[in-house]
Structure 1
Amino acid sequence: MPKAIKLFVLYVDTFNRWVGRFAMQLLFVMGAVLLWSTLSRLFFNAPVNWALEMSQFLLSAYYLLGGAYAMQNDAHVRMDLFYSRLLARKRAVTDAFTIFCVIFFLGVLLYGGFSSTSYALQYNQKNYSAWSPPLWPIKIVMTFGVFLMLLQTISTFFKNVAEATGRSIQ
């Protein structure tokens, strides 16, 4: 494989590993937010109106920033009828072919993410709730997560091609 592809795979995999491990920590933050909400309601009789939305934002950031890391570790759910019976090289060929559907889907999703984020920034879009938070921060995180997933998908494609042709990507 060309050196540029090897460097692309190395940098994308390394960056997504760091982002994915950071995203794992968001579950603790979300737990703390929900715990604070429960404690404030039970002990202080003061319900917190922002906790539910904040936990939804944190969960969205968690799975969108962690998606590329999950793909890197082959942790996504896969419907398997014949796939596991194939040899490793044939699986790599199958993955290299079907990954174009994923790249197309992520491209459309990224386009929509840019459009939605641009709208949220331009008009200072807020959520219709009692808390009424601005939506641009979570939309930026979501669009960034889709972008990282697209980069990881391309990296995975290069790894599949390398495996299918019997070359090393490392």
Structure 2
Amino acid sequence: MSPLFLIICHNAQPTLPILLRYYTMIETAIRRYCLAIHALVAFVGKSISYLMPVLAFVVAFEVFSRYFLNKPTIWAYDLSLFIFGYIAALGGAYAQQQRAHINVDILYNKVSPRMRSLFNIISFCLAIFFVAIICKMSIGKFEEALQFNYRRQSEWAPHMHHYWVMMAVASFMLGLQLSSDLLEEGFHLITGKTLLPDSIRNVEETPHD
């Protein structure tokens, strides 16, 4: 064995603990980021679910007013549309977190866990691209709605700027959740280990090996 090789190995030994320490620090930072995003998205998703009974009440009140009192309201239809839009959009990030979106799994379930992570990474990158476009367009629509005082073309004619604020916030939160999922799948693809505990999600999904 050459003296040069021994010198290189001797000098490289102290760097191994340093590399392991940096690896642990990076892994911890990524895990904390993902856990923070999961907590935020779960809070918003569960909070927005309380609008479901409000939506049911608005629809029921309109039915009662229209068919029993013969006095239909001018606001119930628009309000129910807004509430439904809030629930669907702001709940999108939580649905992504719980992996509740529809997945075409004909090929997906037949490949290895790491290959599934690769498929997920490609899907999440594409999703982040389109979500960024939606967020940018929503901000532009919000500015237009304020500038030109956009209203719904109905008898009640409510303002529309709040809706575009909601769309921008919803798309931004979905982008955050996708970034967390992207890091999680990338970590599994590289290391073969799961970054977050399986209990963080409520739905059943195929576990990583």
Question: Aligned partners of 1:83, 1:2: CA distance in 2, in Å?
Answer: 27
Q: Indicate the residue corresponding to 2:42 in structure 1.
A: 17
Q: 1:169 aligns with which of 195, 204, 208?
A: 195
Question: Aligned partners of 1:98, 1:45: CA distance in 2, in Å?
Answer: 51
> Which has the higher Rg, Structure 1 or Structure 2?
2
1:97, distance to aligned residue in structure 2 (A): 2.4
Q: TM-score when scaled to structure 1?
A: 0.94
Q: Indicate the residue corresponding to 2:161 in structure 1.
A: 136
Question: Aligned partners of 1:5, 1:140: CA distance in 2, in Å?
Answer: 29
Unaligned ranges ≥5, structure 2: 1-25, 197-209
Question: Aligned partners of 2:91, 2:36: CA distance in 1, in Å?
Answer: 16
Unaligned ranges ≥5, structure 1: none
Q: 1:40 aligns with which of 65, 86, 97?
A: 65
Matched, 1:26 2:51: yes
SS at match of 1:2: helix
Write out per-residue CA displacement over residues 10-48 of structure 1, whole angstroms, 9 at most, x where no aligned residue.
111101001111122222111000011011122322101
Question: Aligned partners of 2:187, 2:178: CA distance in 1, in Å?
Answer: 14
Q: Which has the higher contact order (CA 8 A, sep 6+)?
A: 1
Q: Kindly, what percent of the aligned residue pairs are identical?
A: 27
Q: For this pair of structures, how many residues does the alignment match? A: 170
Which segments of structure 1 move beyond 6 Å, counting only runs of 4 or more? none
Q: Indicate the residue corresponding to 1:113 in structure 2.
A: 138
Question: Aligned partners of 1:33, 1:97: CA distance in 2, in Å?
Answer: 41
1:168, distance to aligned residue in structure 2 (A): 4.3
Question: Aligned partners of 2:32, 2:100: CA distance in 1, in Å?
Answer: 23
1:104, distance to aligned residue in structure 2 (A): 0.7
Write out per-residue CA displacement over residues 80-136 of structure 1, whole angstroms, 9 at most, x where no aligned residue.
230011122210122112321111111111111111111112222111110000001
Q: Indicate the residue corresponding to 2:29 in structure 1.
A: 4
Q: Indicate the residue corresponding to 2:12 in structure 1.
A: none
Question: Aligned partners of 1:83, 1:167: CA distance in 2, in Å?
Answer: 19
Q: 2:125 aligns with which of 96, 100, 104?
A: 100
